[in-house]
Amino acid sequence: MNVVASPRSRTRLAAASFALAAASALIASPRAASAFCRTTTVPVVADFQPSTTKCWDQGVPLFWRNSCVGYSVQKSASRQVAFEDAANGISRAFTKWTGASCPTEGTGRSRVSIDVRDLGPVDCGEVNYNQNGANQNVIVFRDATWPHSDSNNTLALTTVTFNPETGEIYDADMEVNTHDQRVTLTDPVPPDGYDFASIVTHETGHFLGLAHSGDNRATMFANYTPGATAMRNLTADDVAGVCSVYRPDGARAVLNGKVTPGPQCDPTPRRGYTGDCAEPAKKSCGGSSQVAASNAAALGSPGWMALGLALAGVLALRRSRR
């Protein structure tokens, strides 16, 4: 059975941890032998590990409703990765997912029903969702500092903001840890290198709502082995995952049955698009969930209480232990 799940580590909800209709009935798929998991509205407990037969089964699975989603790369990119290389690599990574071919089940349509669009470079590098104005789903490199824990072992992190009742994703932001990690764009990848294409293919899976898979061959497996490039290419498990959420017929697998997205491709972020940050400079450009939540609380914005925020996608390094 396929149940939904959050990644095994470091998933946290914002301070506004409203009471959810937790432990709800989850999507049961008739497909067997898939290990993929979906991120949900309820954070996983710290010691949970997905397996080939078990996902985190609390909460509502996340999904993008619209048939198109926009994203933006922060324009200064990284000392390690020039903007053009970043934009090209991320585009290729998304295309792995959006080009996935699913079982047709007699309908004749096989491609997943989600597309992404690069909306161009943005100034803003904040992980944030502005409930009262325009937004961007930003992909940002952290050269100066890594504003999250376990920097030595973390390659990247994707944060997703969602409606805790429906699981609909409102915003997703991706951070790549170029402060403590040396990513490589070369091919072949050196034995101790961290392949940028692998990292962003994994993270774009989180961006689309997938969690870590228990299948250690999958792109969505939680750990990256230095020098490896396998995560660049989706496995059958990854394809099964994206196909289960963004079905070729356009429907979304959600909490109670399915939801059909709007027929049109509109990649505009929720509440409009902007290349600038929503608010004047905050002290921390990092914007952890706690920062976002406390800022929201300070602003007295009751709407925030209706949002969930998950640090949905750590890609960790797999290090050999002595």
Q: Using DSSP, state whether 294 is helix, strand or coil.
A: helix
Would you list the DSSP string of 220-262? Answer: T-SEE-TT--GGGS--HHHHHHHHHHB-TTS-EE-SSSEEPPP
Residue 289, judged by CB atoms within 10 A of its CB (0-12, 13-18, 19+), counts as buried
Is residue 214 a contact residue for Zn ion (CB under 5 A)?
A: no
Q: Given the complex with Zn ion, which of 241 and 313 has the nearer CB atom? A: 313
Work out whether 312 is an interface residue with Zn ion (CB under 5 A): no
Q: Using CB under 5 A, which of the segments 10-18, 94-102, 297-305, 310-318 binds Zn ion?
A: 310-318
How many residues contact Zn ion, by CB under 5 A? 2
261 binds Zn ion (CB under 5 A): no
Rule CB under 5 A: choose which of 33, 94, 313, 317 binds Zn ion. Answer: 313
Only one residue has tokens 């050196």, namely 190
Burial grade of 32 (CB within 10 A; 0-12, 13-18, 19 or more):
exposed
Quick one: which segment of 131-139, 238-246, 253-261, 307-315 binds Zn ion (CB under 5 A)?
Answer: 307-315
DSSP string, 83-142: HHHHHHHHHHHHHHHHT-B---TTSS--B-S-EEEE---BS-------TTS-B--EEEE-
Q: Which helix (H) or strand (E) holds 199?
A: helix 196-207
Query: Of the listed pieces 93-101, 144-152, 253-261, 313-321, which binds Zn ion according to CB under 5 A?
Result: 313-321
Q: Does 93 bind Zn ion (CB under 5 A)?
A: no
- Rounded to a whole number of angstroms, the minimum distance from the CB of residue 183 to Zn ion is 15
Contact (CB, 8 A) for 138 and 106 = no
Q: How far is the CB of 169 from Zn ion (least distance, A)?
A: 16
- What is the smallest separation between the CB atom of 294 and Zn ion, expressed in angstroms? 25
Stretches 114-122, 136-144, 171-179, 312-320: which one binds Zn ion (CB under 5 A)?
312-320
Q: Would you tell me the crossing angle of helices 196-207 and 236-245 to the nearest 10 degrees? A: 30
Out of 5, 176, 307, 315, the only residue in the binding site for Zn ion (CB under 5 A) is: 315
Write down the least CB distance from residue 60 to Zn ion, Å: 20
Per CB under 5 A, the segment of 55-63, 108-116, 160-168, 306-314 that binds Zn ion is 306-314
Nearer to Zn ion, 197 or 315 (CB): 315
Output the smallest distance, CB 106 to Zn ion, in A. 34
Rounded to the nearest whole angstrom, what is the least distance from the CB of residue 314 to Zn ion in the complex?
Answer: 5
- Which helix H or strand E contains 194, and what residues bound it? strand 194-195
By CB under 5 A, tell whether 174 contacts Zn ion: no
Count of alpha carbons within 13 Å of 174, Cβ hemisphere only?
A: 28
Q: Is residue 50 involved in binding Zn ion (CB under 5 A)? A: no
Can you tell me the distance from the alpha carbon of 270 to that of 204, in angstroms, rounded to the nearest whole number? 19
Closer to Zn ion by CB, 212 or 252: give it: 212
- Least distance in angstroms from the C-beta of 316 to Zn ion: 7
Helix (H) / strand (E) containing 204: helix 196-207
Binding site for Zn ion (CB under 5 A): 313, 315
